[in-house]
A and B are shown apart, each in its own frame.
Chain A
Amino acid sequence: MDGAKGLVEDLFRREWAHLVSALIRLLGPAHVSLAEDVVQDALLVAMHAWRLGAPKDPTAWLIQVAKNRAVDVLRRGARLQPLPSAETWDTTLELALSPEADGENQLRLMFAICDDALSPETHATLILRLLCGLSPAEIARAFLVDVQTIDRRLHRGRARLQEMRNLDDIVAAADVRARQPSVERALYLLFNEGYHGSNEENPLRPAMCADALRLAELLLGAVGVEARTVHALAALFCFDAARLATRLDDEGVVVRLAEQDRSRWDRTLLDRGVRHLAASATGDEWSRWHLEAGIAFEHTSAPSLAETNWGKIVQYYDVLMELVPGPVVAMNRALALAEARGLDEGREALAALADDRKLADYSFYWAAQADVERRAGHAAEARALYARALARAKSHAERAAYQRMVSELEG
């Protein structure tokens, strides 16, 4: 049973992204579904063939099968017009599917997907489908929406892609620059869905975070991209992903930052984040990602919660509030304030947000207030607030965490 080494981790997901983007670039964005079918077919063949032992080089094997399937489809495919001659196909396919073309193929597809006519949610959905190999059902589980919603987004996306002649239309530096913010936002959404995820039970969450980081680093290699904001985004991903393993305990309950085991944070990822952060520090304008990465850096570089530079974090939040004002940013700023200047100031800042309708439905807002009261020794108030958080919590992991707090306060 050789070749098992090649089957580790996420070979199928990776090869899906590689093969789908290569075929879409080759056949044109009008044939997204066709590309998906060919690759799905190839993976299914591999599944059957490898049940009783994988080949020595699974990747090469998969590429060969995909190539054969593509040739089959193209021979039959009167719907593909104009069809290049059969002799040229072999070389063209070979080149398109080569590992050397992979990065560029995926970049082109990513930029094509992040079209202004589509919503950020649709961008993220298409990236998850085409560049991360998640099925509609898996995407639906990640976003906590029904499969029909995801199918509708994919349908809209494919229809929009169909209007483009080919993926190479978006190579002019000006186009790339214009689409860069959309691409960054989609990756941010992708990462957050994996990190904070609406669905804590989703086993694919770490993979989504890893994919967001992979695609961000891929983005750094794109011609015409402004690297500083991408570096900041990648730094943010690294700092957050480094803590991923400590966010849930053995029973799957959310662990608050204060109680996370800092020795288990991923040093390699933290170092990678620091390198990205350093590379992002050019120019004098701070993007939203710079600020968020700066905040994440303060958290991950502090030896303990108490030794965290909360004053600096509050400053970052102040600038962030000017850049992207919003209730959730304001809430996080209030929490930092509670650490930097005491519980009373924190409580006051949280109370000032009480009229916000979005926060009223946001479990973390009530949990934040509950934490402040608990630490101030107001057990009854804290219990009542945790009960409100509990009623609005979206995942088992979160509910269990609040339940635990309530019973500790009773005990």
Chain B
Amino acid sequence: MPRFMYIFRGGGYAAPEALSPTELQRHLAKWKEWSDGLLRAGRLPMAQPLAHPPSGKTVRGRDRVVTDGPYAESKDLVSGTLVIEAASLEEAAELARDCPILEFDGSVEVRPVLLPPTV
């Protein structure tokens, strides 16, 4: 079955102080519900959350220049990935429509994973 990678950006960074503990926990419950749904549907989700607050280093070019941190706008910051199985790109995108990150104005980029050709 083809695999797809969800690349999560943003979500919950904007005006977080307005969110109460209850609202934060309720949001988490939605994530659990969503990912459990993928698990039950046999999508074999494999998650890779990234640390928050975002930190890291970038190594760039032939000169191997090392710079600190991802300094993108918070809505563009990658906050994690999830690989799932789906029949097609369309189906993978459809499954992402229920992702709770969208409620907090985040985005899900859906990319086909390149699988080695079967011999």
Q: Which residues of A contact B116 (CB under 8 A)?
A: none
Query: Which of B18, B22, B25, B49 has a CB less than 8 Å from the CB of A52?
Result: B49
Docked-complex contact A52 and B35, CB < 8 angstroms: yes
The verdict on A49 contacting B51 (CB below 8 Å), with A1-B35, A40-B17 known, is yes
A168 to B84, CA, bound (A): 54
Interchain CB contact under 8 A, B12 and A135: no
A47 engages B49 (CB within 8 Å)? no
Candidates B23, B49, B51, B53; contact of A53 at CB < 8 Å: B49
Most buried by B among A40, A51, A133: A51
Question: Taking A1-B35, A7-B28, A45-B52 as contacts, is the C-beta distance between A51 and B80 under 8 angstroms?
Answer: yes
Does A61 reach chain B (CB closer than 8 Å)?
A: no
Among listed A10-18, A274-282, A293-301, interface-contacting one? A10-18
Task: Count A-B pairs with CB separation below 8 Å.
Answer: 84
Q: Does A340 contact B (CB under 8 A)?
A: no
Contact A10 B49 (CB under 8 A): no
Given A7-B28, A47-B28 in contact, is the A134-B20 Cβ separation under 8 Å? Answer: yes
Q: Is A138 an interface residue (CB 8 A)?
A: yes
* Per-position 1/0 for A1-42, Cβ under 8 A of B: 100100100111101100000000000000000000000100
| CB-contact partner of B22 in A45, A48, A204, under 8 A | A204
Minimum CB–CB distance for B45 against chain A, Å: 8
A48 to B101, CA, bound (A): 10
Tell me if A137 counts as interface (CB < 8 A to partner B): yes
Contact of A133 among B21, B28, B32, B51 (CB under 8 A): B21
Chain A residues with Cβ under 8 A from B80's Cβ?
Answer: 51-52
Closest approach, in angstroms, between the C-beta of B39 and any C-beta of chain A?
8
- Which residues of B9-63 have CB atoms within 8 Å of chain A's CB atoms? 12, 16-25, 27-29, 31-32, 35-36, 39, 47-49, 51-53
Q: Is A323 close to B, CB under 8 A? A: no
The binding surface of chain A is classed by DSSP as helix
A145 in the interface (beta carbon within 8 A) = no
CB contact between A50 and one of B16, B28, B51 (< 8 Å): that residue: B28
Most chain B beta-carbon neighbours within 10 Å: one of A1, A4, A7: A1
Write out the residue numbers on chain A whose beta carbons fall within 8 Å of the beta carbon of B79. 48, 51
Q: Cβ of B93 < 8 Å from any Cβ of A?
A: no
Q: Does A159 contact B (CB under 8 A)?
A: no
Partner of B21 from the list A1, A12, A45, A48 (CB cut-off 8 Å) is A12
Which 9 A/B pairs are nearest by Cβ-Cβ distance?
A: A135-B20, A52-B47, A48-B52, A12-B21, A12-B25, A133-B21, A51-B31, A16-B21, A52-B49
Residues of A within 8 A of B (CB): 1, 4, 7, 10-13, 15-16, 40, 43-54, 133-135, 137-138, 204, 207
Q: CB within 8 Å of A: which residues of B? A: 8, 12, 16-25, 27-29, 31-32, 35-36, 39, 47-49, 51-53, 79-80, 82, 100-101
Q: 29 interchain pairs (CB within 8 A)?
A: A1-B39, A4-B32, A7-B25, A7-B32, A10-B25, A12-B24, A12-B25, A13-B25, A44-B16, A44-B52, A45-B52, A45-B53, A47-B24, A47-B25, A47-B28, A49-B51, A49-B52, A51-B28, A51-B31, A51-B49, A51-B100, A52-B48, A53-B47, A54-B32, A134-B20, A135-B19, A135-B20, A137-B20, A207-B22
